[in-house]
């Protein structure tokens, strides 16, 4: 069975030993680059002294990468250094943040119990647009609608809207009103994962529910991945869909009545399906060194992108770098 690399960092996608190569951004902390090592390299100890029968996988990737943040006025997520850490026992495993137990496994099929983190919370760590969650352009329009800019034009008094930054505009418009979008908590999800590998490609399905009581929602992931191997490299194309329940979407993308302000109306999220297309590549430079890369497009469903705190309908991800394998 082809062995896939899983990377530990703010990015994402997956498959190792008994696990298939397709999941999408498990959490804001863990990532799998879904890059496979050629089966020919999987001897007990290879020429570079790497024990490929070891239950441990340890590697580091360094390079340049970026993931879009779809929230209004937020910073994109930079990906510069990624640690790949996994351990596989007879049944239990740890895979870059995922903890699992294998219920059944054959050469082509695997069923696992899985516990992992929800990835949605990570976006909130990169909000950079002031406490209101509104971008500079929206704040300027709101200030003009409230008459602050027009006062200066008509009477020669008032604020110069164009000269004010985000924080100053918020102070002008909202004064002492608390406009901050409250932080959302991380959720711990648990459920079942099914993997099937054949000559025609790999299938992965997951059904997870929130066991931490954060949002009480569920999610489901279904993906098809087709890998192809050359003498020195491996490539993979993945097509996937992720269903998110109403409770999950409303918690991370909704706006409650208490959070609603001018320019940010209350919004109730509904169940939605996101779609994903991803291409990853890996080329061997030596026994321990590899050139790795991945590009991905995630298309947000209508009930997510229609939220007043979301400004992008799709999330782009790209990474290219060098990977060094210790174990």
Higher pLDDT, 34 or 255: 255
Mean pLDDT for the stretch of residues 23-41: 35
Contact status, residue 294 vs residue 278, Cβ threshold 8 Å: yes
- Per-residue pLDDT tens over the stretch 195-237: 999 999 999 999 999 999 999 999 999 999 999 999 889 999 9
Q: Which two tokens stand for residue 62?
A: 């360094």
Let me know how long the chain is. 327
Name the least confident of 147-151, 226-230, 281-285, 299-303: 147-151
> pLDDT-based confidence at 60, cuts 50/70/90?
very high
Write down the pLDDT at residue 110: 96
| Beta bridge pairs of residue 316 | 297
Write down the pLDDT at residue 158: 56
Contact status, residue 124 vs residue 183, Cβ threshold 8 Å: yes
- Dihedral pair phi/psi, residue 221, rounded to 5°: -130, 135
The three-state secondary structure class of 214 is: coil
Contact status, residue 144 vs residue 159, Cβ threshold 8 Å: no
Residues 6+ apart with CB under 8 A from 320: 63, 64, 65, 291, 292, 293
DSSP letters, 233-300, are EEEEEEEEEEEE-HHHHHHHH-B-TTT-BTTB--B----EEEEEEEEEEEEESSSSEEEEEEEEEEEP
Q: Give the up-direction half-sphere exposure of residue 28: CA atoms within 13 A in the CB hemisphere.
A: 16
């Amino acid at each position: 069975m082809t062995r896939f690399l899983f990377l530990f960092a703010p990015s994402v996608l997956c498959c190792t030993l008994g696990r298939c190569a397709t999941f999408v951004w498990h959490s804001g902390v863990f990532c799998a680059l879904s890059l496979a090592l050629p089966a020919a390299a999987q001897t007990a100890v290879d020429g570079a002294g790497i024990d490929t029968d070891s239950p441990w996988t340890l590697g580091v990737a360094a390079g340049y990468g970026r993931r879009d943040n779809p929230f209004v006025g937020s910073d994109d997520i930079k990906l510069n250094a990624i640690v790949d850490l996994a351990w596989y026992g007879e049944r239990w495993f740890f895979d870059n943040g995922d903890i699992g137990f294998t219920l059944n496994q054959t050469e082509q099929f695997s069923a696992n119990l899985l516990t992992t983190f929800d990835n949605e919370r990570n976006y909130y760590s990169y909000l950079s647009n002031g406490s209101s969650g509104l971008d500079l352009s929206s704040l300027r329009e709101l200030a003009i609608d409230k008459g602050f800019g027009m006062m200066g034009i008509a009477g020669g008094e008032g604020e110069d809207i164009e000269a004010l930054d985000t924080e100053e505009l918020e102070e002008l418009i909202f004064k002492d009103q608390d406009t901050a979008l409250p932080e959302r908590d991380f959720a711990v999800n648990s459920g079942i994962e099914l993997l099937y590998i054949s000559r025609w490609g790999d299938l992965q399905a997951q059904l997870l529910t929130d066991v931490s009581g954060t949002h009480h929602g569920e999610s489901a992931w279904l993906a098809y991945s087709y890998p192809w191997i050359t003498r020195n490299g491996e490539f993979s194309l993945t097509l996937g869909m992720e269903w998110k329940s109403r409770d999950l979407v409303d918690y991370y993308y909704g706006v409650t009545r208490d959070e609603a302000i001018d320019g940010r109306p209350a919004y109730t999220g509904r169940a939605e399906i996101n779609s994903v297309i991803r291409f990853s590549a890996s080329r061997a430079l030596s026994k321990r060194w590899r050139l790795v890369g991945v590009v991905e497009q995630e298309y947000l469903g209508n009930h997510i992108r229609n939220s007043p705190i979301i400004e992008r309908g799709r999330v782009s991800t790209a990474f290219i770098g060098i990977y060094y394998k210790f174990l």
